[in-house]
Amino acid sequence: MTVSESAPAKPDSPKFSYVEIVLELLKVAIDKVSSIDRSIK
């Protein structure tokens, strides 16, 4: 993963877990937007 390359390789690092959470939320949001797009079209 590119995140672990630039950040310290400690999974318990607060910054690392924050980035992971944000990425997960982004994935969920994109999935929801995509499904809404499909239902509209």
- pLDDT for 16: 65
Tell me how far apart the alpha carbons of residues 5 and 13 are, in angstroms, rounded to a whole number.
14
- pLDDT for 18: 85
Q: Quickly state the pLDDT bin for 40 (edges 50, 70, 90).
A: confident
Tell me how far apart the alpha carbons of residues 39 and 41 are, in angstroms, rounded to a whole number.
6
- pTM score, two decimals? 0.49
Q: Domain ranges in the chain?
A: 2-40
User: How confident is the model over 2-34, as pLDDT tens digits?
Assistant: 555 555 555 555 666 788 899 999 999 999 999
